[in-house]
Amino acid sequence: MMGSMSLFRAVLITILAVSAASCSKSDSGDTPTSPTNPNAVSYTVLAASDGLGVGGSIVCAPLDLGCENGTGYAQTIRRRFQADGRTVTYLNLSIPGYVLSRAIADLAVSIGRPDPGTFMERYSAFVPPGTTHVTIFAGGNDANVIGSAVSAGQGAPDIRGYVDGQVRQWGSDLAEFVNRVRSRSSTARIVAYNLPNLGAAPYMAGRTIQERSIMQRIATGLTDQINSLTSRGVIVIDLMCDPRLAQPATYSSDGFHPSDAGYAIMADLGYAALTSGSAPAPQSSCAQRTALPVF
């Protein structure tokens, strides 16, 4: 039986070939960045389940380049581009459960979870060279793996040091991931979303204050790593310090994924950044970062 990586590669090669064939006629041979076709957009989505709109009312299947009515942020951004008269080539590589890198995948395996698959190993090689716009939303699954490792006893007795070490490694891997994306398309405009305070998210409501505070430390730490990408020319959307993303209505019934309302906010912020090339600088302090006692 074909392994998961081989199957992913085979499906992606087929999708990319079909996409190229379908675009070549309508685009008259121009690449998305060609000055003779300035309204052409090649939008690539790099995320996990959130990139498919999980938690929303219309969820897309992995590697489904149709799903035109999806209510996730990526599908909404695609429709916004089209409504503005752009010709859009769209590739959504998002797979539920994926984490950023091998370090977190190995950590998941160490606590008895299946290998989740990683952005680094399975996405970056498939970013089309002509990509003009990219969104990255990473860290939610990674935060949960780190939190679960702490709950399983890893890192004791220096839990703070353990969490901070995991966060630093994740940040190094994130920078490398961005480098790989840029190596595929050096002129692509990259927009990355940071994380809301997951310790204060509804799915953590039944946990102890210490567990929630540890998750807050993880989420704010990962957010700081994402925020640092601004020094690399990445536009960062500040979900952490947007008070709207701290409201229960922006979460789906599972308390983790965004609802339609949450995705709509993400789409508004992401589309503005993708089209303007700028966004307000992410904040280093705000009430949402310390919603729980600092661990």
Can you give the pLDDT at residue 27? 34
Can you give the pLDDT at residue 20? 39
Asked if the bond preceding 248 is cis, omega within 30° of 0, the reply is no
- pLDDT at residue 83 tops 90: yes
Using one digit for the tens of pLDDT, what is the confidence trace for 115-168?
999 999 999 999 999 999 999 999 999 999 999 999 999 999 999 999 999 999
CATH classification of 36-290, choosing from 3.40.50.261, 3.40.50.1110, 1.20.140.10, 3.50.50.60? 3.40.50.1110
Rounded Cα distance, 217 and 3, in Å:
36
Beta-strand relationship, 133-137 and 235-237: unpaired
- pLDDT at residue 7 tops 90: no
Higher pLDDT, 34 or 76: 76
Higher pLDDT, 169 or 66: 169
In one-letter notation, the amino acid at residue 140 is G
Can you give the pLDDT at residue 33? 34
Can you give the pLDDT at residue 65? 87
Can you give the pLDDT at residue 10? 45
Q: pLDDT band at 22, cuts 50/70/90?
A: very low
Using one digit for the tens of pLDDT, what is the confidence trace for 205-224?
999 999 999 999 999 999 99
- pLDDT at residue 169 tops 90: yes
Q: What mean pLDDT is reported for the chain?
A: 90
Can you give the pLDDT at residue 271? 98
Can you give the pLDDT at residue 55? 98
Phi/psi of residue 199, each to 5°?
-65, -30
Q: Within a 10 A sphere around the Cβ of 1, how many other Cβ atoms?
A: 5
Can you give the pLDDT at residue 255? 98
Can you give the pLDDT at residue 2? 38
Average pLDDT over residues 251-271: 98
Q: pLDDT band at 32, cuts 50/70/90?
A: very low
